[in-house]
Chain A
Amino acid sequence: MRESDEQAAFRLMVRSFVEREVNPYVEAWEAAEMMPLHEIFTKMAGLGMLGLEYEPEFGGQGADHTFTVILAEEFGRCANGSLPMALGVQVDMATPSLARFGTPEQKAQFLKPAMEGSMVASIAVSEPDAGSDVAAIRTKAVRDGDEWVINGSKMWITNSVQGDWLCLLARTSDEGGYSGMSQIIVPTSAPGFSVSKKLDKLGMRASDTALLSFDDCRVPVANTIGQIGKGFQQQMAQFVVERMWAAYTTVGACEVALEKTAAFLRERHVFGEPLLAKQHVQFTLAELAAEVDLLRTYNWAIAEAYNRGEDTTRQATIAKLKAGRLSREVADRCLQFHGGMGYVEETWTARFFRDNRLTSIGGGADEVMLQVLAKMDGYVA
């Protein structure tokens, strides 16, 4: 695919934004274990980077999906994994259901401010006892007149310490299994909502991830997204774009890692010559770069299918699986070729190694991707 002038210009703009407005601050955010998302998102919104595919009426840009790919690839080049993840949650994980199924009132109240950067959104699906098996969630919303009364807890929720609202998946009936769940918008100011604990993680350290609790938390029934009882199905569709985002950012992340590693190895002399003169090193980097290129090409094929309105569940699953595995391989090899320098905090490789480890777990673990594929492709008995 050849980029149009507009796509190329957008890529250039996002790349210089990441280089000048993001990367210089990453060290401070990592040290603070927090990012000023309202400020960052507001700046981005001013340049039209949020809500690319949403309706202009609700803070969107009315663009096609390829611009999301470009945004994700370029944010993948950030000096940490936390910001591309936080951004992904805001634009592609917590808001697609609202944009698709929400009422104009809901969109005006929650989507528009999120796309203008004044509200930060989270997606709250996982629980302490339900991650891979989403149907095992127990958080329950019981109707009391015009209100839902919510009880339970949500675990691993990105952006939720500073967040303004959650797209919550909860049980709204006793049917069990894949039925009887609903997506509900919960403002973090709602009575009965609290952040129980901010989690201390291996990586993604600038991202605020928390355990949340709902103790007779009350929100209007009018905050239900789409159909009551169809939350699981709506969430499964939302997971598809979430996985695509992860695959897109991985391309940018791996690309910059390989570039930086090659630059280091050109200068680093071992046994009287640059390390990059060693055939083993050359072949390893060349092969990884080739794999990144295959993932990029596959991603763009998904994007085009998505633009045509096709169901991209299978391709998104494949790309997410590959992205998790490939970014682990790239992170490991880049660290290895840096030797001892790869193992210290002052080199980018340490954070890269930690941050990218998540791709194989978050948004559905590799094994869950394989389970989906085995089922779709008929490798089951």
Chain B
Amino acid sequence: MKVVVCVKQIPDPADPGEIDPSTKTLKRDVKLILDESDSYGVEMALQLVDGDGEVVLVSMAPNNEVLAMGADSAILVSDEALAGSDALGTAKVLAAAIKRAEPDLVLAATESSDGYTGTVPEQVAELLGMPSVTFAKEVAVADGTVAVKRQTEAGYDDVTCPLPCLVSVTAGVVEPRYPSFKGIMAAKSKPVDEVGIADLGIDAGAVGWAGGGQEIVAIEPAPAREAGEIVEDEGDAYERIVSFLEELKVI
């Protein structure tokens, strides 16, 4: 089985840098790290394959960490024309790159943690003509079919879907492994298929700033969090918490 896993490199959330007022997007000239929400898909892919098959990473920035965790190879799309790509532009590029790998299954995160729309995986599936299953918390593959436990507000749905398909994975559902020393040392010698958009048959005008069909009109700082109410327990704290939650209509 061949599993493609899509990952994104993002500015370290511990030191995220700033927003560029001219492009209204996050500056990306800082140190980039693997988006944590992608690490769950990587772990799932590695567990699904478990040595019997192949995990191919698809990304738009170099990522040795996933190779060190155990992925077998990478397709890296790198092209100056990609700067400023919106969700659909990104999806077009990823879809074309994924096609090169001819996978049985594509895994992606539900959404990334920096600038996100939460729409890329479904757009990729549509472009590839594959069915897609969202919010997976468990994925199993047998006899050309994927069985997914799909997280819902009430619990989960059991969904089955023929391969090849795309599954987007909920954050936190598996424990991503650490890359081992051996994995780290082996990462550099793993095959990386480095391609530009021309290799993918994509026109420069269709991606990046040029191809953007979506525009960020304004950016504003998030409002400061208001001070909460502190409930001191004088024997009736539970009653006050219950009535507070009732007021919020959450219970």
Contacts and interface: CB of A to CB of B under 8 A. Distances in A.
Given A5-B188, A6-B188, A9-B187, A49 B64 contact: no
B65 interface: yes
A16 B188 CA distance: 21
B188 A52 contact: no
Contacts of A49: 181
B181 A5 contact: no
A9 B179 contact: yes
B178 A13 contact: yes
Contact of B181 (A12, A16, A61): A61
B182 A13 contact: no
B181 A63 contact: yes
A67 B182 CA distance: 12
Contacts of B47: none
A9 B182 contact: no
Nearest to A14: B178
Interface string A1-17: 00001100110110011
Interface string B45-73: 00000000000000000001100100000
Contacts of A67: 181
B180 A6 contact: no
B184 A9 contact: yes
B224 to A, nearest CB: 16
Interface string A27-62: 000000000000000000011110010000000010
Interface residues on B, range: 10 to 19
Contacts of B195: none
A17 B178 contact: yes
A52 B181 contact: yes
Nearest to A56: B182
Contacts of B1: none
Interface in B158-197: 178-182, 184-185, 187-188
Nearest to B182: A48
A6 B182 contact: no
B64 A5 contact: yes
Contacts of B184: 6, 9-10, 13
Nearest to B34: A12
A47 B188 contact: no
Contacts of A12: 33, 65
Interface in B64-115: 64-65, 68
B11 to A, nearest CB: 15
A47 B68 CA distance: 11
Contacts of B68: 9, 13
Nearest to B67: A9
A46 B180 contact: yes
Interface in A113-171: none
Contact of B178 (A16, A52, A61): A16
A3 to B, nearest CB: 12
A13 B68 CA distance: 10
Contacts of A48: 180-182
Contacts of B180: 13, 46-48
A77 to B, nearest CB: 14
Nearest to B184: A9
Nearest to A51: B181
B190 to A, nearest CB: 13
B185 A6 contact: yes
Contacts of A61: 181-182
A352 B33 CA distance: 31
A12 B178 CA distance: 10
A13 B69 CA distance: 10
B178 A47 contact: yes
Interface string B124-141: 000000000000000000
A2 to B, nearest CB: 14
Contacts of A9: 64-65, 68, 179, 184, 187
Contacts of A63: 181, 185
Given A47-B179, A47-B180, A48-B182, 18 more contacts: A5-B188, A6-B185, A6-B187, A6-B188, A9-B179, A9-B184, A9-B187, A10-B181, A12-B33, A13-B181, A16-B178, A17-B178, A48-B180, A49-B181, A52-B181, A61-B181, A63-B181, A63-B185
The 8 A-B residue pairs with the shortest CB-CB distance in the complex, in nearest-first order:
A48-B181, A47-B180, A9-B184, A48-B180, A13-B178, A61-B181, A47-B178, A13-B179
15 contacts: A5-B188, A6-B184, A9-B179, A9-B184, A13-B68, A13-B179, A13-B184, A47-B179, A47-B180, A48-B182, A49-B181, A52-B181, A61-B182, A63-B181, A63-B185
